[in-house]
Structure 1
């Protein structure tokens, strides 16, 4: 498996960000001239596109959630501040 350079990974993410309503520029910066978006809805839409899991109301209310660090370890209270 070949690792993808961070800049290349970001380039793949830009179209998804635009698709869900976040308006990044071609450099990946926030476009201040773009209309406001519902950021919570955009984040949930982005999470669905990245994971393939649709966040439904019942999943959000009744699901079991576990936080992990970027390295995959369980995140304790110090990570959640």
Structure 2
């Protein structure tokens, strides 16, 4: 999953040696570089946090019965415009 994008900020972080060693074992089989692996991990973390935030919002304001009914009927979405 290599994406071309403008990179303009460099982060410097300190991590335990064990974490770096585990990362370096993983990189050759999954990523082109250590930086790419760290970037992917940060993206995954941010996505997970966003999902947890969404879940919390749904817990605070659950779907109505009418909204839930839409999930049970695949034809219920037929009138929804295709954007």
TM superposition score category, shorter chain reference: under 0.3
Larger gyration radius, structure 1 or structure 2: 2
Structure with a larger share of its residues in helix: 2
TM-score, structure 1 normalization: 0.24
TM-score, structure 2 normalization: 0.23
- Structure with more relative contact order (C-alpha pairs < 8 Å, separation 6 or more): 1
